[in-house]
Amino acid sequence: MKRDPIVEEVHRVREQMWSECGGSLSGLIDSLRASEAANPEGVISRDEFDRLISLPRALTDPVSRRP
């Protein structure tokens, strides 16, 4: 199987986050909430998320790009 450096980086960061939180789900949730509180400009609403996630589909849909 071919190595994928992006997937390896995601796994490395996941392991680091898990370790920093003491290996507990509640610790991970607390850490994420603290990060959100410290960086409120990085938190978006569900409506904004839905809008952003739908953009790539609209841009890549061949039907919507027809003249």
- pLDDT at residue 10, as a whole number: 95
pLDDT in tens, 4-38: 999 999 999 999 999 999 999 999 999 999 998 99
The residue segments making up the domain with residue 30 are 5-60
Q: Do the domain assignments include residue 32?
A: yes
What pTM did the predictor assign?
0.54
Q: Do the domain assignments include residue 20?
A: yes
Give the single-character DSSP code of 42: G
Rounded Cα distance, 37 and 45, in Å = 14
Q: Do the domain assignments include residue 67?
A: no
